């Protein structure tokens, strides 16, 4: 296995603990503490057991820049109100990592696992892994019916592509906004009552495969609103990118 293979193996391993990579070697020597002892103004200038790419895995600013680069390749970074959002993202590594954790539209369990990490470096490294997988399909969680693709995800609020709302009954919804949806049944009459998006009337979306409620269709009620329509998918009802 070449250096790139070793790099990918380390990326896939947990940052801490006695995990074993594909070579059967313990990765304990690659702990944050050990690598940081070699990270400084003269790192790489003299003999060191760690290569520069490995040292970069422990540098928050390097990981943050890698996340920025990968994020700019995503469709969501180029459409709708998300255009330019990266420029407004926090600059401190931990704050940036938290901002990105929401922008990635992770499921609640995945987000809890991500944010259970102790340092910004650990969170950013996991986010690099997620971003390197690229964009994938969005499917009904219950039956696997194809609904849309991550390339159609965009932001309709200052929160980005995923926002949290509550209905009059107090039920909390995490909503992922997308430009296009297929494989659904639009159900009910358009209404502005309790809408989460002012001047947009909503209707229910049911999965065509299993009739499970998966979200809402929003249509503009005034001629100047852009976009004219969009869709909000309930994050709890969909699987994104084959997670």
Q: pLDDT value at position 7? A: 47
Q: What are the pLDDT digits (tens) for 69-122? A: 888 887 765 554 555 566 778 889 999 999 899 889 999 899 999 989 888 888
Q: pLDDT value at position 59? A: 79
Q: What are the pLDDT digits (tens) for 211-239? A: 999 999 999 999 999 999 999 999 999 99
Q: Where in the chain is the domain with CATH 2.170.150.20?
A: 137-240
CA atoms lying within 13 Å on the CB side of residue 146? 6
Q: What is the Cα–Cα distance from 62 to 66, expressed in whole angstroms?
A: 6
- Residue in this structure with the two tokens 């070793």, named with its chain if needed: 6
Q: pLDDT value at position 214? A: 98
Q: What is the Cα–Cα distance from 52 to 203, expressed in whole angstroms?
A: 53
- As beta bridge partners, residue 204 has 187, 216
Q: What is the Cα–Cα distance from 65 to 55, expressed in whole angstroms?
A: 14
What burial class does residue 42 get, using C-beta atoms within 10 Å of its C-beta: 0-12 exposed, 13-18 middle, 19+ buried? exposed
Q: pLDDT value at position 205? A: 98
Taking phi over 0 as left and psi of -120 to 50 as alpha, with beta for the rest, 67 belongs to alpha
Number of neighbours of residue 17 by Cβ within 10 angstroms: 10
Q: What are the pLDDT digits (tens) for 6-60? A: 444 544 443 333 332 332 333 334 444 454 554 444 444 444 555 555 555 667 8
pLDDT reading at 153 higher than 60: yes
The distance from CA 236 to its chain's CA centroid, rounded to whole angstroms, is 14
pLDDT reading at 176 higher than 90: yes
pTM of the model: 0.74
Number of neighbours of residue 58 by Cβ within 10 angstroms: 23
Residues 126/118, Cβ–Cβ less than 8 Å:
no
137-240 CATH: 2.170.150.20
């Amino acid at each position: 296995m070449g250096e790139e293979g070793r790099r990918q193996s380390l990326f896939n391993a947990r940052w801490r603990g006695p995990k074993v990579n594909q070579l059967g070697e313990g990765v304990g020597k690659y702990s944050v503490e050990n690598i940081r002892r070699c990270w400084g103004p003269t790192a790489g200038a003299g003999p060191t057991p760690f290569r520069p790419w490995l040292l970069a895995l422990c540098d928050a600013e390097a990981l943050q820049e890698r996340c920025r680069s990968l994020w700019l390749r995503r469709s969501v970074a180029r459409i709708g109100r998300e255009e330019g959002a990266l420029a407004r993202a926090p600059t401190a590594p931990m704050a940036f990592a938290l901002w990105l954790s929401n922008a990635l539209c992770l499921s609640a369990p995945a987000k809890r696992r991500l944010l259970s990490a102790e340092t910004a470096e650990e969170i950013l490294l996991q986010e690099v892994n997620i971003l390197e997988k690229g964009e994938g399909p969005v499917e009904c969680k219950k039956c696997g019916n194809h609904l849309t693709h991550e390339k159609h995800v965009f932001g309709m609020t200052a929160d980005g592509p995923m926002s949290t709302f509550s209905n009059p009954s107090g039920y909390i919804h995490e909503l992922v906004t997308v430009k296009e949806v297929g494989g659904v049944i639009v159900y009910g009459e358009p209404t502005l009552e309790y809408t989460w998006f002012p001047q947009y009337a909503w209707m229910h979306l049911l999965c065509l495969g299993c009739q499970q409620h998966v979200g809402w269709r929003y249509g503009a009620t005034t001629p100047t609103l852009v976009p004219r329509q969009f869709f909000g998918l309930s994050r709890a009802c969909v699987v994104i990118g084959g997670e």
